[in-house]
Structure 1
Amino acid sequence: MYSLFLECPEQDAELLSSELWEEGASGIQEESLPGSRCQLRAWFDDPTGLMQRFAPFQPRLEVDEDVDWEQASRQAWQPFEIGDRLYLAPEWDEDPTPRGRMRLTIHPGQALGTGDHPATQLCLEALEKHLPHSAVVLDVGAGTGILMAGAALLGARHVAGCDIEYESIAVAYRNLLTDGLPPHVFAGSTRAVRSQSVDLVVANINAVTHETLASEYARVSRRWLVLSGFPDRHAARVRAALKRHGFEVVETIEKNEWVCLVLWNEENS
């Protein structure tokens, strides 16, 4: 077994982890470094080509003949609290849920959206504060389904999700079933969703995609948007794109240079 060590900015860690999984990593461990950077340690059976493939990330390779990669990877995923009501715990964790909190199971694996990224945490915090009672929710770019599961726990009446990546939808479907939640997911875009059919759209994707989908958000959502997945330097462009379609920002939440915008469309209310 071989360990590949990489360094990257904190905001790039989730995407880089996904690339490591695609290259055949058996497990991944993340460690924070000073200066908003992090180190990723990934285990491989065959290191051929890895140093060249990840050359921009200061790669370092070590031989680990007796490493229990599964245990090491599990130790990197510890339960943690989000907001005032949620408790995120990996699927193998057996510790009791703290009193007054709801357990949201996370499924670390090959798709993005495990709850570890600040943008995901911001979306969950925003849903806790702004999700209307018995709302109909659409998660655009559903990933692993974690935001769908969070919305369901927080009181949504109906939650659906879409993603243009079939592999992500397959993961979300499996995770939601495992958690005992209805897996209302489909591979495709918001064009398949009826106009004014949801109360709140949540989307954790990049700023360019938010700009592209602004008119679709306005068509689909009756009232609310919760948008994240971009750093603060891109927040103004997302605000401007949604303002052109009648949405006003009611709250901006920030964490580690990442931003979540909560928007309301009075014209649709």
Structure 2
Amino acid sequence: MEWIEVFVSVSQMGLEPVAGVMYACGLTGLMIHDASEFQEFLENPNRDWDYVADELVEEKSELETGITFFVRDNVYGKEQLVQVQSALKMLIATETELDLGTLETKIKNVAEEDWANNWKKYFKPFPVGEKIMIRPSWEELTAPPDKVVLKIDPGHIFGTGTHETTQLCMELIEEFVQKEDMVLDIGCGSGILSIAALLLEAKEADAVDIDPNAIQIAYENSDMNDIPRETYHVKSGNILEDEALHQSYSGKKYDMVVANIVADIIIALTKQVPDYIKDGGIFLCSGIITERKEDVLAGLAAGGFAVVDIKEKGNWVAIATRYKG
């Protein structure tokens, strides 16, 4: 298995919160680069070493502060990288008082434009749950499956269906969505979850994502699946911070609200989702690493949500709840 090295440029102040986001996305083995630490070492008169090689000084002097991590050179690695990028955008939107740095992502050891397309050769049609078949837009099925076919082209937005968090959430949608349901998809990415709900006969779906590119990509995917624009509506913005956006969904009383994000955002949403969901409605949340499961469960309980199902895969957890008011 080949690995791709990824570097994110971060300010010294941003190292801790950005590393926290990466851990929340399931990354481990982060390499933290703090350019100031080596400079402090050189300037410390009490340092233990009398001699430091010129080559090392030159190398470290050019060191950029940031974080390095590795993803697999396949479709899952691409999905994981896009998940991190989406989570970083949410961090920027919520931590407006912090100078996090540029958060520019650089792919090393391979041309970024090549890797952006090469992963597609690994992305083939595959089933999710009992009723859904995911089909990349550039692939053909040899025979019609006895399932709903969901065609998807994620572009540079999270949501191919290969990531455990997406699969877990789709399995819960399959379990709980009802014909004629109204669905709200928070953090929609490619639109894969809300589109799945509509293909499984939900009546209408609203979707929102902090990345403005999600609007075009989600609509392209819904069009590809012959979903009329009258039943699918996509917006962009920070639903936790933008009062006007929040009010546009408040009071609609959806039958199902879906959020495949990260634990901290889900916990924050437990205070807002009651404005969006009807009594007895279903709130599905995913994107939760195992270590944060109890934190999310506590937040859900405090928000008036009763757990009706929990699914786990790998190090990820998805939770289905019913709102009790």
TM beyond 0.5: yes
Contact 1:86–1:104 (8 Å) recurs in 2 = yes
1:118 Cα offset (Å): 0.5
1:54 Cα offset (Å): 5.7
Q: Distance in 2 between matches of 1:146 and 1:157?
A: 16
Contact 1:29–1:76 (8 Å) recurs in 2 = no
Q: Distance in 1 between matches of 2:248 and 2:299?
A: 22
Matched, 1:30 2:86: no
1:225 to 283, 289, 293: 283
State the Cα deviation string for residues 68-108 of structure 1 (Å, max 9, x = none).
87884332101111110100110011114553211011213
1:194 alignment counterpart: 250
Contact 2:256–2:283 (8 Å) recurs in 1 = yes
Contact 2:183–2:257 (8 Å) recurs in 1 = yes
2:153 alignment counterpart: 107
Q: Distance in 1 between matches of 2:226 and 2:300?
A: 35
1:249 Cα offset (Å): 0.7
Matched, 1:254 2:305: no
Give the letter aligned to residue 147 of structure 1. Answer: L
Matched, 1:89 2:104: no
1:109 Cα offset (Å): 1.8
**Does the C-alpha gap of structure 1 residues 31 and 249 become closer, same or farther in structure 2, counting only changes over 3 Å?**
same
1:23 alignment counterpart: none
1:240 to 294, 298, 313: 298
Contact 1:229–1:259 (8 Å) recurs in 2 = yes
State the Cα deviation string for residues 97-156 of structure 1 (Å, max 9, x = none).
553211011213211111111000111000001112311000001111111110001110
After TM superposition, the score normalised by the length of structure 1 is: 0.74
Matched, 1:152 2:201: no
1:132 to 175, 178, 194: 178
**Does the C-alpha gap of structure 1 residues 72 and 213 become closer, same or farther in structure 2, counting only changes over 3 Å?**
closer
1:201 Cα offset (Å): 0.1
Matched, 1:216 2:272: yes
- Larger relative strand fraction: 1
1:205 Cα offset (Å): 0.5
2:102 alignment counterpart: none
Give the letter aligned to residue 227 of structure 1. Answer: C
Give the letter aligned to residue 199 of structure 2. Answer: L
Q: Distance in 2 between matches of 1:252 and 1:89?
A: 26
Contact 2:76–2:162 (8 Å) recurs in 1 = no
Query: How high is the sequence identity, in percent, across the aligned residues?
Result: 29
Mark the runs of 5 or more structure 2 residues left unpaired by the alignment.
Answer: 7-21, 29-71, 82-104, 240-245
TM-align CA RMSD: 3.3
Mark the runs of 5 or more structure 1 residues left unpaired by the alignment.
Answer: 14-27, 40-52
Q: Distance in 2 between matches of 1:200 and 1:62?
A: 42
Matched, 1:179 2:225: yes
Q: Distance in 1 between matches of 2:129 and 2:222?
A: 22
Q: Distance in 2 between matches of 1:202 and 1:140?
A: 6
Q: Distance in 1 between matches of 2:151 and 2:121?
A: 16
After TM superposition, the score normalised by the length of structure 2 is: 0.62
Matched, 1:164 2:210: yes
How many residues matched? 229
Contact 1:113–1:120 (8 Å) recurs in 2 = yes
